[in-house]
A and B are shown apart, each in its own frame.
Chain A
Amino acid sequence: MATNLSPTKNPIPEQEPNVRNKNFDEVALGYTVELALDEANRCLQCRRPQCVTGCPVNVKIPDFIKLITQQDFKGAYHKILEDSSLPAICGRVCPQENQCESKCVRGIKGEPVGIGRLERFVADWVMQNADEMPEKPERNGHRVAVVGSGPAGLACASDLAKLGYDVTVFEHLHKAGGVLAYGIPEFRLPKALVQKEIDKLTALGVTIQCDATVGKALLIDELLSNDPDVGGYEAVFIGSGAGLPVFQNIPGLNYCGVFSANEFLTRINLMKAYDERYDTPLMPISKVCVVGAGNVAMDAARCAKRLGAEVTVVYRRGEKEIPARKEEYEHAKEEDIIFKLLTNPVEILADENGWVRGIRCIEMELGEPDARGRRRPVEKPGSEFEMECDAVIMALGTSPNPLLRKATPDMEYTEKGGIVADEHGVTTKPGVFAGGDAVTGAATVIKAMGAGKEAAAAIDRYIMKK
């Protein structure tokens, strides 16, 4: 079956590190048809494909890869669409090495099949060669409201619209997309792609209402009421994400020059501070220290690099524990970002006017494993040192935003502030469904998308039963 027995993946063409760390254009350029065919031929078409079990939404991976080998790229695309709504996006940002590719049998001896790269290839090929806007399906006369336009909300709206529902998405920001718009940078996920997905939703008849804050301008109960202006929805899906930045409790956090990664990335991605034509100010930065080593930290570090700064990532555990996608970590290293591992900040230092001038850190070593089996870092006594910098970016995670919670007290929440919902997105409040980061806390695009799809099906069952 497999005609390509090479133990390694076809590399994906990329911009040179020393070129790309100065621009915001996409880093990975994508497979050509030849590379895609060659890579697709590495797939063994397993009878019990393990890759599928590793995919949070169980995309029929061998089936779409087979269609690629038959050069039916459009067919491959539609095969993916049976389970996923956003292939062009997931092909770029999914942590495949922990999901499908981690399970691929070819990975036992050598590298797994480049499933993510193939997914991206078919999505891009279709977009360039056979793109068509979906037709507006016939309406079924039922209305559903969606809160938040991140991957969870978009996926839920899309599936419901395809079933004929009249869907309105309410988004607080002036642009739709959630983290895809404000968090993940252009060089990893071109915003034109996100816009394309949103245009497709609009073509399906979904109304996207930006500048609409649920919990402030409108309440969930009002959406579910008979209010002639804002009511009339039979169900509400909440996909409000986990946008609240977590700050570490060390002295000096409020000095000028300390940012949450969310603030830094929002200024750049949503407010386009790197683009001359935009008014968004950004302080000039020459030496930046990023705290944390997740995807968010990598994105912040790589953005800072592109703005001309010397960037050091400080992380309290070791290389093996880095939570970012491997590809992002590799890319960051190639782009000359310095990693100080097993190092923890203890204090941010400022000059007499309250502007950051450095950061005091302490070296760590790995001790006993914790409950999750990760070795707990412990401080090395007497190893404190100072590092000069003019900006500190805190990328230590986010938690669900309390705004909607405060306005909707009659629903159950977890201790951490997440909405309590079952695997179909059913919450404790009748008619209200939820999914994505708002339920799970910060997770992944594919999981949020999957939750949105699951909830769409549940909402359909709920309304049809009424």
Chain B
Amino acid sequence: MPFQIVKKEQLSDNMFRVTFHAPLVARRAQPGQFLMFRVDEFGERMPITISYFDREKGDVTVIMQRVGSTTALLASMNEGDYVADVVGPLGNPAEFDNMHKVIVVGGGSGCAIAWPQAKGAFDRGCHVDIVAGFRTKGIVVLEDEMRACCKNLYMMTDDGSYGEKGFTTVKLKELLEKAKAEGEQYDTCICIGPLPMMKFVCQITKEYGVHTMVDMNCIMIDGSGMCGGCRLTVDGQRKFTCVDGPEFDGHLVDFDEAIARSKIYEKQEARVFQRRHHCTLQELADREEAARKAAKEGK
């Protein structure tokens, strides 16, 4: 049963917002849950966080970074096209209990996942501050959305091309130090981004004793607890991200192991990309960039 793409927007060079018509997914979706899509018969089952849902219309929206073959395939599709499968909502909803003063740290495409959670906390009356980090200006996304659901938004870029220059961890440390000095420490940190960033954020928040929730994105196949491919170690115990997560207490996650496991298919994925797209991701991006330039100059 194919699923229609009802809306698609490009948010930045490599970020896309895609809305699927998938009433069964929309009807019980909650913030923090994810869906899996499969582009066509030959495609992989790809996990992705549900950013918005419209139960009335039966639509679900995801915000996706183009990083490899499958995400590039979806990015190349248009409104009105169909993907083979959309299944969900999977995983557990995010929990907002006992939160009052919250700091949200988002890294790159992680901001897409962090934003609905920040909104969830904000809508429940929490004090929310957001630190959003991006490599460079060209990939900044969701600034307005994030600004609308927090008290303070700190935009950071690695190269200083937008907002403040520096990593999210630097800003985080500064804010925690300040809050500590003022005697009003954050009670919760929600951190979503690349694994190494989450690892370092957790090291810092642990120092300050700030409870930290992370969203783990592991390699998945079925998303229902059947393959164990998404397993990780939390507090010395084996957990399956798809059914026990994706949200975990960041101070208990074995990040080094998760980082090693995330690299299992790196080489094969590059090959799949070549086969599907007849070029590398870089060449694809360059080609688009050239087309954009040409269009501009043409005008």
The interface of chain A, by Cβ under 8 A from chain B, is 172-174, 182, 209-213, 216-218, 229-230, 243-245, 247, 253-257, 259-260, 262-263, 266-267, 271, 277-283, 353-355, 401-403
Residue in contact with A245 in the complex, picked from B24, B88, B227, CB distance below 8 Å: B227
B216 to chain A, nearest CB (A): 13
Known: A256-B260, A271-B44. A209 touches B225 (CB 8 A): no
Q: Which segment, of B108-116, B118-126, B262-270, B287-295, faces chain A? A: B262-270
> B196 on the interface (CB 8 Å rule)?
no
Please tell me if the beta carbons of B44 and A279 are within 8 angstroms of each other in the complex. Answer: yes
Q: Which segment, of B74-82, B181-189, B229-237, faces chain A? A: B229-237
> B138 on the interface (CB 8 Å rule)?
no
Nearest B-chain residue to A217, judged by Cβ: B24
Please tell me if the beta carbons of B233 and A216 are within 8 angstroms of each other in the complex. Answer: no
A21 to chain B, nearest CB (A): 23
User: How long is the Cα–Cα vector from A244 to B231 in the complex, in angstroms?
Assistant: 12
Please tell me if the beta carbons of B1 and A277 are within 8 angstroms of each other in the complex. Answer: no
Give a binary string over B256-284; 1 marks a CB under 8 Å from any A CB, 0 the rest: 11001101110011001000100000000
List the B side residues contacting A244 at CB < 8 Å.
225-226
> B27 on the interface (CB 8 Å rule)?
yes
Which parts of B219-261 form the interface with A (CB within 8 Å)?
Answer: 221-222, 224-229, 231-233, 238, 243, 256-257, 260-261
Please tell me if the beta carbons of B268 and A212 are within 8 angstroms of each other in the complex. Answer: no
Among all A-B residue pairs, the 8 with the closest Cβ atoms: A354-B260, A281-B268, A263-B227, A243-B226, A211-B87, A281-B265, A260-B228, A263-B229
A112 to chain B, nearest CB (A): 36
List the A side residues contacting B261 at CB < 8 Å.
254, 256, 354
B235 to chain A, nearest CB (A): 14
A266 to chain B, nearest CB (A): 5
A315 to chain B, nearest CB (A): 20
User: How long is the Cα–Cα vector from A256 to B256 in the complex, in angstroms?
Assistant: 12
29 contacts between A and B (CB under 8 A): A172-B222, A172-B224, A174-B45, A211-B85, A213-B88, A216-B90, A217-B24, A217-B27, A217-B88, A230-B27, A243-B224, A243-B225, A243-B226, A244-B225, A247-B228, A247-B231, A254-B257, A256-B260, A256-B263, A259-B229, A260-B228, A263-B229, A266-B222, A266-B226, A271-B221, A279-B43, A279-B276, A354-B257, A401-B224
> B212 on the interface (CB 8 Å rule)?
no
Interface size on B, residues (CB 8 A): 44
User: How long is the Cα–Cα vector from A94 to B23 in the complex, in angstroms?
Assistant: 40
Interface contacts beyond A210-B1, A211-B85: sample of 12 additional A-B pairs, CB < 8 Å, sorted by A: A211-B87, A212-B24, A217-B24, A245-B228, A253-B238, A254-B238, A254-B261, A256-B260, A279-B276, A283-B268, A354-B257, A401-B224
Interface centre among A255, A256, A257, A277 (most CB of B within 10 A): A256
Nearest A-chain residue to B268, judged by Cβ: A281
User: How long is the Cα–Cα vector from A451 to B225 in the complex, in angstroms?
Assistant: 24
Please tell me if the beta carbons of A218 and B24 are within 8 angstroms of each other in the complex. Answer: yes
Please tell me if the beta carbons of B264 and A283 are within 8 angstroms of each other in the complex. Answer: yes
User: How long is the Cα–Cα vector from A245 to B228 in the complex, in angstroms?
Assistant: 7
User: How long is the Cα–Cα vector from A92 to B69 in the complex, in angstroms?
Assistant: 38
User: How long is the Cα–Cα vector from A196 to B90 in the complex, in angstroms?
Assistant: 30
A231 to chain B, nearest CB (A): 12
Please tell me if the beta carbons of A245 and B226 are within 8 angstroms of each other in the complex. Answer: yes
List the A side residues contacting B88 at CB < 8 Å.
213, 216-217
Residue in contact with B24 in the complex, picked from A211, A254, A255, CB distance below 8 Å: A211
Known: A216-B90, A247-B238, A402-B243. A211 touches B1 (CB 8 A): yes
List the B side residues contacting A260 at CB < 8 Å.
227-229
Please tell me if the beta carbons of B24 and A279 are within 8 angstroms of each other in the complex. Answer: no
B10 to chain A, nearest CB (A): 23
B36 to chain A, nearest CB (A): 9
> B180 on the interface (CB 8 Å rule)?
no
B59 to chain A, nearest CB (A): 15
Residue in contact with B221 in the complex, picked from A266, A277, A353, A401, CB distance below 8 Å: A266
Please tell me if the beta carbons of B38 and A174 are within 8 angstroms of each other in the complex. Answer: yes
User: How long is the Cα–Cα vector from A262 to B228 in the complex, in angstroms?
Assistant: 8
User: How long is the Cα–Cα vector from A260 to B229 in the complex, in angstroms?
Assistant: 7
List the B side residues contacting A256 at CB < 8 Å.
260-261, 263-264
B262 to chain A, nearest CB (A): 9
Nearest A-chain residue to B230, judged by Cβ: A263
User: How long is the Cα–Cα vector from A182 to B261 in the complex, in angstroms?
Assistant: 23
User: How long is the Cα–Cα vector from A351 to B225 in the complex, in angstroms?
Assistant: 28
Please tell me if the beta carbons of B226 and A401 are within 8 angstroms of each other in the complex. Answer: yes
Nearest A-chain residue to B33, judged by Cβ: A216
Please tell me if the beta carbons of A281 and B224 are within 8 angstroms of each other in the complex. Answer: no
Residue in contact with B227 in the complex, picked from A229, A262, A278, CB distance below 8 Å: A262
A250 to chain B, nearest CB (A): 12
List the B side residues contacting A402 at CB < 8 Å.
225, 243
> B205 on the interface (CB 8 Å rule)?
no
A239 to chain B, nearest CB (A): 14
List the A side residues contacting B85 at CB < 8 Å.
174, 210-211
List the A side residues contacting B269 at CB < 8 Å.
281
Please tell me if the beta carbons of B90 and A213 are within 8 angstroms of each other in the complex. Answer: yes
Please tell me if the beta carbons of A279 and B260 are within 8 angstroms of each other in the complex. Answer: no
User: How long is the Cα–Cα vector from A403 to B91 in the complex, in angstroms?
Assistant: 10
User: How long is the Cα–Cα vector from A210 to B84 in the complex, in angstroms?
Assistant: 11
Nearest B-chain residue to A283, judged by Cβ: B264
Nearest A-chain residue to B238, judged by Cβ: A247
Nearest B-chain residue to A259, judged by Cβ: B229
Please tell me if the beta carbons of B227 and A216 are within 8 angstroms of each other in the complex. Answer: no
List the A side residues contacting B229 at CB < 8 Å.
259-260, 263
Please tell me if the beta carbons of A279 and B257 are within 8 angstroms of each other in the complex. Answer: no
